[in-house]
Structure 1
Amino acid sequence: MESIRPLPPISGRGAPTNLRPTRTGSLDRAADGDWLDTAEDIDGAAPALRTTVTVEHPRTIIARNSSPDIGFDRSINPYRGCEHGCIYCFARPTHAFHDLSPGLDFESRLFAKPDAAALLRKELAKRGYAPAPLAIGTNTDGYQPIEREWGVTRAVIEVLAETRHPLIVTTKSDRILRDIDLLADMARDNLVGVAISVTTLDPAVARTLEPRAPHPKRRLAAIRKLIDAGVPTQVNISPIIPAITDHEIEAIMAAAAEAGAIRASYILLRLPHEVAPLFRAWLDAHYPDRAAKVMHMVQDIRGGRDNDPDYFSRMKGRGVWAQLIRTRVQRAAREHGLDKSFPPIRSDLFRPPERDGQMALF
């Protein structure tokens, strides 16, 4: 990995650099030229980065996985890249496959898949398709800001609602409330479950950690509104970052319980590939007083490395610190009634969409 050349702080962006991945043989690159707006911020800080969206036309839309520590085997990503700009996002390295930076490019050079709903309809209509819960938002957030204009996520959920196909949604945006009509309809048949991610309750921390994600209070309010609409919703404390957000575990649990969440889950910080040097640069920029301590704890949790890719341990970690966090999560979940199982999602109501203009007979 090339050494990071940090940029001046960029308002509303998470990554402190546009580090290029060496896995593609490219060199490190700082954002410059037409990636930057010409107008400067009022306070004289570095100019803001524009968000650009490229249309992508994939041949299929359902991604499959066989990971034994993930509770679903299929997912849809309406977008590539994510404008929320969360510095910890484990999906950042996927931008390297487009010869783009997992840093600032990941959060400003986005891809949209407007054909997603049509492709989904086609795949669901195939003979022999066997339904099972389909996940949205597990790689990049389907409710990131550009969903407001593109509406790809809603179009996909419309197809799933029509065909009574089971759905799991993970997001850190209250924009999901726009689709509460579809989700409530599916919830009446036990076809949907939602997880709202709350990483911190501190808006100052959130502004640097996940700069374009909605305020934590808006996410908690979204939990309440989804629950009131009959949509089973859990809080996902993800990721828990040692010495940055881990002290908030109990407070987040209490706030989520007050909002009506039915259960809680968590994931410890993951730093695969380029995420590790980006996160280190973020620490140096925002928490220089404890950067070494944070990484020491991370490496203790990850067996002496910045990242542990092994199944099962990659989500929860190992060692003393990981066990301490696990114990605190379990204790707080019990105290606030968030240790229940998620209601089972039905797959037996699926009805294939029309195929070649005709209804499927079987």
Structure 2
Amino acid sequence: MFQAILIEKTDDKSQSTLTQLSEDQLPPGEVLIDVHYSSLNYKDGLAITGKGPIVRSFPMVPGIDFAGIVTDSSNADYVKGDKVLVNGWGFGEQAWGGLAQKARVDAKYLTRVPESLSLKDTMIIGTAGYTAMLCIIALEKNGVTPEKGQILVTGANGGVGSFAIALLAKLGYQVAAATGRPHEQDYLITTLGANEIIDRTTLSEPGKPLQKARWAAAIDSVGSYTLANVCASIIESGTVAACGMAQGMDFNASVAPFILRNVTLAGINSVTRPAEERDVAWARLAQLVSRELLDAVSQEIPLENAIDAAECLINGDIRGRVVVNLQE
């Protein structure tokens, strides 16, 4: 038997509980994993609290990220003792995820843990850091360099935002951090490396279709009016990498920035990226992240505290990353 969070649905209402499961209850798959660490992402928060239609089938073990050690495998590419991680692919939404002490998955969904990272490190980074890295790669492919100007990062105190700021600063970019928590200025500037703080309310309401050109590029995890205003404020031939919708899925924008300023809007889907792109992103992350950054942007909790932490995450009371220790 092992511990897991299980989401069940009764009378159109879902409920999350900490429970005991057996290995024979796990879904079929080629590789059995002892899960050492998982994490809490915004999707996990929505799923656990029932505040968003994330879960596609019930019962469901949430957790879109997890890392652990292979204990049994019928696939020749993985053997007992291999260190692996999983992020995305619909786990915690369509298939049982990582907020459990054991998981069984097919080998095609696994990524090998880079040698310089521990299992815990990969979950501090998780989908948040991996998505931030994909956004930066998209900016680089569109010719955005530090010399082009300042980069805006929205949702700055969240997981994606925190990693985006730190990684961009490490790469030599000047970064403006948009946040609704001005009291976090020291964290954003001193710890992560931002050089300017933007009040998110200046971006979150309807604005003009074309605004003063301010930023060479942007990484947006907010969507809705924020994304529209960001696009309207990008300089000539700049790029916006859009990876989230915390404010909403709507996009009440004009074609003006795209036609009159040659702005590129790059959508970032981190869920189903092919293995080769994942390997590139994780290799870059292994090179760029530091021990100091990983410690500064994360907090660790046991599985028994994950349900309460999910509520705090949705309410915006958590900054950075929450790592869940499954072996404690």
Q: Same fold by TM-score, threshold 0.5 exceeded? A: no
State which structure, 1 or 2, has the greater radius of gyration over its C-alpha atoms.
1
From the two aligned structures, give the one with the greater strand fraction. Answer: 2
Q: TM-score range by the shorter chain?
A: under 0.3
Normalising by structure 2, what TM-score? 0.27
